[in-house]
Amino acid sequence: FPLLSAVHQCDYLRCYVLHVYGGGYADIKHTSKSWVPFFELVDASPAFGAGYTEIGPHGVATVGGALEAEMKANHDKLVGLCAMVFKARTEFTEAWFQETNAVINRKADALLKNPARHPQDRLGAQFTDGSLSAYPFEWTEVGGNVFHPIAYRYADRILHADMAPSFTNYR
């Protein structure tokens, strides 16, 4: 865990906390709505959770191939990764947690040799000294590339709610 970039630590913790404890997650992006109705919606439903409808094809994780094309064509079936409410220990969160761990474990040796050097490190990132990062993970590899395919598989069990954060001026 300490070898991951801060971005990928966040991706891991989002998955872990929502799987083990359930609850709500929001990125650093601004939101001005009460989330009480979203928790009530999920609690009153057999659904695994709720999130905002993915903002468009450009918001879909870049997993490549036919799956990426299918998800982009059906982006309105996906929920985004920046704001969500999920019940603990569901079939969905179990699949998400298992795959997140598998992605990290598959590159454990490379991660030991090339730990993150920057909070937003990613494979091939250029550092101020001109060198390129050998950190083994792409930007969305631990987060969206895991979450979106699983959310797509369980799309009929995830509710869509008007909880999208603001995507402007958040850094």
Q: Read off the pLDDT of residues 37-71 as tens digits, 9 standing for 90 and up.
A: 999 999 999 999 999 999 999 999 999 999 999 99
Q: Label residues 134-143 b or e (16+ Cβ within 10 Å = b).
A: ebbbebbbbb
| Neighbouring C-beta atoms of residue 115, cutoff 10 Å | 15
| Neighbouring C-beta atoms of residue 124, cutoff 10 Å | 10
Dihedral of CA atoms 16, 101, 165, 24 in degrees, nearest 10, equals -20
Q: Are 137 and 29 spatial neighbours (Cβ–Cβ below 8 Å)?
A: no
Average pLDDT for runs of 10 along the chain of length 171: 98 99 93 95 99 97 98 99 98 99 99 98 97 98 99 99 86 63
Partners of 135 in the β-ladder: none
Q: Are 92 and 154 spatial neighbours (Cβ–Cβ below 8 Å)?
A: yes
Measured CA distances, 120 to 81, 115, 137 (Å): 17, 12, 11
Q: pTM for this one?
A: 0.95
